[in-house]
Amino acid sequence: MKKPKAINLYIDLYKRFEKLSDAQAGRLVKAMLRYGNTGEITDFSDDLALDVTFCGIADQIDRDFKKYRDICQKRSEIGRRGAQALHQKDQANAAIATNCCQEEKEEEYEEEKENNEEEENKKEYNEEEENKNKAQSARPSHLIPLEYIADVHAVIDYLNQHTGTRIRVSNLGNGKMITNQLKKGYTVEDCKRVIDNECDRLMARGYHKDLLSMFLFGSHFEEYAARSA
């Protein structure tokens, strides 16, 4: 199977990289290149921010590579069909009345070939746009079960009010982390108490406020909840 020679570095990743230190950004870029080259998944268990960010980027790399392979396959099929059609046309042209000037035959052949290529290019472009629209519509909102969506939004809204941030449910897996805590039996009020008691302390220790949700609702949540009870 043909493999891409590059990975896409999308501009909308800038906001995520901006929140990382230079050392973190360097680790993340190396992990992206390693994954694109060998498929190896880097272990970021020591850094939750990098772990969550890398998971999303790895999924995007998989989608880009699949799109690349699909396009290569389509082009190969187009080339095969085109060669077959040209071969059939050559055979038909050989049986046409011989009074036709050779130059006229060649002009007709080239014009037909160009028209075929133009139609195939249009078809390929339309298929790519359709796949792109489907991919855009398949956002990760399905990761949050319907019964938890309202509670997750309530927690994120409360965190944004407390810190003055604009954290989104889908950003960096926040919704998924909060959902995991709610599934364990914690309530929205438990989450709000953790926000009230831990946000200021974490920011005083130098944690960036846009990353607080990852630290609040990650592996230390039970400890925070117990301390906030």
207: left (phi over 0), alpha (psi -120 to 50) or beta: beta
Task: Encode pLDDT of 89-136 as tens digits.
Answer: 878 777 666 666 777 777 777 778 777 776 776 676 567 656 654 444
The reported pLDDT for the residue numbered 138 is 42
Residue 89, CA distances (Å) to 85, 97, 104, 119, 189 in order: 6, 14, 15, 17, 74
Task: Encode pLDDT of 6-34 as tens digits.
Answer: 888 888 888 888 888 999 989 989 989 99
The reported pLDDT for the residue numbered 100 is 64
Task: Encode pLDDT of 68-78 as tens digits.
Answer: 888 888 888 89
The reported pLDDT for the residue numbered 194 is 93
- Positive/negative CA dihedral, 203, 208, 213, 218: negative
185: left (phi over 0), alpha (psi -120 to 50) or beta: left
Average pLDDT over residues 32-61: 89
- Positive/negative CA dihedral, 92, 97, 98, 103: negative
Average pLDDT over residues 164-186: 83
- Decide if pLDDT at 139 tops 50: no
- Could you tell me the residue ranges of all domains in the chain? 11-137, 141-228
Q: Helix axis angle, 48-94 relative to 22-38, nearest 10°?
A: 40
Task: Encode pLDDT of 192-218 as tens digits.
Answer: 999 999 888 888 888 887 777 888 888
Task: Encode pLDDT of 145-163 as tens digits.
Answer: 889 999 999 999 999 998 8
The reported pLDDT for the residue numbered 129 is 55
The reported pLDDT for the residue numbered 137 is 38
pTM for the structure as a whole: 0.39
Name the residue with tokens 């880009």.
Answer: 64
The reported pLDDT for the residue numbered 201 is 87
Q: Residue 183 — pLDDT band, cuts 50, 70, 90? A: very high
- Decide if pLDDT at 47 tops 50: yes
The reported pLDDT for the residue numbered 141 is 46
Q: For all residues of the chain together, what is the average pLDDT?
A: 82
The reported pLDDT for the residue numbered 65 is 86
- Decide if pLDDT at 229 tops 90: no
Which of 155, 164, 208, 207 is closest to 186 using CA atoms? Answer: 155
